[in-house]
C-alpha cells in the first residue's frame, strides 16, 4: 500500500510503500519520516544565545559544503557516478542550510564555497574531512542545545553527515 510521509526534520513529502531508511532530501533517519498529520515545523521555536551562535556556524559549514559539492558535481561528466554523487551531496547540504536559516528566521545566504581540487580522489578526501569535521561540530552543538527541536535537528544532521563520510570512504575503496 502506498503512503504519504513527511520528514519531521526538513518537511519534505515522500510517497512510497515503506518509508526509506533515510530521508531522500535531508538524510534524516527513518524514524523521522511520519504521517503528514504529525508534522510540525521544527524551526518554529526560539533559540537561546548559544543555540543561535551554533546555528550560525552550522549555516557557514552547510553553505561551504553546498557550494563546493555543487562545483565538484559540475566539474564531472554529466550523469557520471561522481556527478550524481556530488549532486546528491549538494542537495542534502542545501536542505540543511535552508533548515538552519529558518531556525534563525533569516534569508538563505548567497551560495559560496571552496573550489574543486586537482582530482576527484582529492575531492573525495576533502569530502571525508569536511564531513568528519561537521559530525564533530554537530555532536558538540547537540550537547550544547537545550531546545528539543534543535537537538532533533543535530541528531538528524549527525546521521546524514556520517553517511556522507561513509559514502566518500566507500568511493575511495576504503
Ligand atoms: Fe528530511
Ligand atoms: Fe549537512
- Joined grid coordinates for residue 71: 562545483
- Joined grid coordinates for residue 95: 536542505
- Per residue in 15-26, is it b (16+ CB within 10 Å) or e — as a string? eeeebeebbbbb
Interval between CA 162 and ligand 1 midpoint (Å): 15
* DSSP-derived pairing of the beta strands 13-16 and 3-7: antiparallel
Interval between CA 71 and ligand 1 midpoint (Å): 23
Model pLDDT for residues 52-105, shown as the tens digit of each residue: 999 999 999 999 999 999 999 999 999 999 999 999 999 999 999 999 999 999
Stated pTM of the model: 0.96
Q: What is the dihedral of CA 20, 62, 76, 168, to 10 degrees?
A: -60
Mean of pLDDT over the chain: 97
Is the CATH number of domain 49-171 1.20.1260.10? Answer: yes
Interval between CA 162 and ligand 2 midpoint (Å): 10
Interval between CA 62 and ligand 2 midpoint (Å): 5
> The domain 3-38 is classified under which CATH number: 2.40.10.170, 3.40.50.300, 2.20.28.10, 3.40.50.620?
2.20.28.10
In the chain, where the domains are located: 3-38, 49-171
Instruction: Indicate the SS3 state at residue 50.
Output: helix
Asked if the domains 3-38 and 49-171 are classified in one and the same CATH topology, the answer is no
Distance CA 104, CA 51 (A): 10
- Joined grid coordinates for residue 74: 559540475
What pLDDT score was predicted for residue 16?
94
Interval between CA 26 and ligand 2 midpoint (Å): 8
Interval between CA 96 and ligand 1 midpoint (Å): 9
Interval between CA 118 and ligand 1 midpoint (Å): 32
Amino acid at each position: 500500500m502506498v503512503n504519504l510521509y513527511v520528514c519531521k526534520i526538513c518537511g519534505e513529502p515522500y510517497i512510497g510503500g515503506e518509508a526509506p531508511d533515510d530521508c531522500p532530501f535531508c538524510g534524516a533517519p527513518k524514524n523521522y519520516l511520519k504521517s503528514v498529520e504529525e508534522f510540525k515545523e521544527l524551526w518554529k521555536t526560539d533559540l537561546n544565545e548559544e543555540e543561535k551562535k551554533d546555528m550560525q556556524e552550522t549555516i557557514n559549514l552547510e553553505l561551504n559544503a553546498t557550494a563546493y559539492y555543487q562545483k565538484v558535481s559540475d566539474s564531472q561528466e554529466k550523469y557520471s557516478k561522481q556527478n550524481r554523487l556530488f549532486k546528491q551531496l549538494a542537495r542534502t547540504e542545501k536542505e540543511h542550510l535552508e533548515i538552519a536559516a529558518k531556525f534563525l528566521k533569516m534569508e538563505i545566504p548567497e551560495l559560496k564555497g571552496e573550489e574543486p581540487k586537482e582530482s576527484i580522489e582529492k575531492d573525495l578526501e576533502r569530502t571525508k574531512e569536511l564531513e568528519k569535521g561537521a559530525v564533530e561540530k554537530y555532536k558538540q552543538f547537540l550537547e550544547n542545545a537545550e531546545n528539543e527541536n534543535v537537538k532533533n535537528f543535530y541528531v538528524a544532521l549527525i546521521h546524514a553527515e556520517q553517511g556522507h563520510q561513509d559514502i566518500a570512504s566507500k568511493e575511495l575503496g576504503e
